[in-house]
Amino acid sequence: MAVELVPRAAALRQVCDESADVKSFTFEFMDSSTLSSLPGQFVEVSLPGVGESTFAVSRLEDGGRRFHVSVKRMGHVTKALHRSAAGETIFVRGPYGKPFPVAAWKGKDILVIGGGIGLAPLRPVVDHILANRADYGKLDILFGARTPGDMIFQADLAAWGRDPGIKLVKTIDVECVDWDGCVGLLPNVVKQQAYRPDGSIAVVCGPPVMIRFTLAALRELGWPDEQVYTTLEMKMQCGIGQCGRCNIGGKYVCKDGPVFRLDQIPSVAL
């Protein structure tokens, strides 16, 4: 039996600059196997001699033959990844974790709220809805970033903005010339937009403090916890519920999450 902690070799096919400190990487496994990842699942990406880190899958192509992760330059693994170029060999294992239950959301309106790099795990949710458009109701996307330059996935934002079936709202933290979107922190914009909970599902991801206050804003607007999902920022390493570090009480973020419905998260996490 294979040692789960030992990853598969993948070829880095493409590197795309998303912002000053975020790049998206497109991989393909060397053995031609596919990544059967569902929206919200994550992978462990590593460079031998540098280390391994956890990243949400930010897009699947061609039935999982190609997959993307979007990486903000932060620590030594992400810095090494940012120095990598197409053609290099990178190691990947997964997918791991519980996905967003998109099949159970059929017939509902969906509100997607992403803050910064937190949009990465949510993009596969949007991709899934767009690929199965008739199965879902209205699609609202709210995306916040510090500055216009921090807006990742520009091509997608442009396409979503043109799509008459999507109501896209973009916001930045502080005012800036030539900006035609909203200005303000996400929790405030959520309240301004007064998103209605009736028969809808909200999915939220971003930095921990953004998640906390955005969830509070949704509660203020009357959203019941059973209709709100988030994918948690908690340190994961092994991805398979063994190394111990991502526990919240008796739950492991990597195994029982990272996607949680709000009423199923122990209060100590928030």
Partner 1 sequence: MPWKKLAKSDLPAFLAELSTRAELIVPQEKSGKVRFLPFDAAQPVNFPSSLVDVSLKSVFFPKRRPVATFDPADRTKLEPAAPETSPRILLGAHPCDVAAVNYVDRVFIHSSFKDPLYEAERNRTTIIGMACSEMKPECHCTDRDLSPDDERGMDAVFYETSDAYLFRALNDKGAAILKSSLLKETSEEPQKKDWPGGKYPVDPSSLPSADDSLLSPPSSLFQDIADLCLTCGACTFACPTCTCFLISDEQHEGRGERVTAWDSCQFSGYSRMTGGHNPRKTRAARVRNRMLDKFVYTVEKYGATSCVGCGRCAIICPVGRHFPKEIAELSAKAKGR
In the complex, the residues that contact partner 1 under the rule CB under 8 A are: 1-7, 9, 46-53, 74-75, 78, 89, 91, 207-208, 233-235, 237-238, 240-252, 255, 266-269
Q: Taking the CB of residue 165, how many other CB atoms lie within 10 A of it?
A: 12
Give the residue with the Cβ less far from partner 1, 51 or 222.
51
Q: Smallest distance, Å, CB 255 to partner 1?
A: 7
What is the smallest separation between the CB atom of 208 and partner 1, expressed in angstroms? 6
Least Cβ distance, residue 19 to partner 1 (angstroms): 16
CB of 87 or CB of 165, closer to partner 1: 87
Q: Which is nearer to partner 1, 5 or 176 (CB)?
A: 5
Q: Residue 154 or residue 242: which is nearer to partner 1 going by CB? A: 242
State how far Cα 185 lies from the chain centre: 19
Q: Strand 247-248 vs strand 51-61: parallel, antiparallel, or unpaired?
A: unpaired
Q: Of the two residues 147 and 242, which places its CB atom closer to partner 1 in the complex?
A: 242
**CA-angle at 129, arms to 124 and 132, nearest 5°:** 125
Closest CB to partner 1 among 140 and 256? 256
CB of 77 to partner 1, least distance (A): 8
Main-chain phi, psi angles of 129, to 5 degrees: -65, -45
CB of 49 to partner 1, least distance (A): 5
Nearest approach, Cβ of residue 238 and partner 1 (Å) = 6
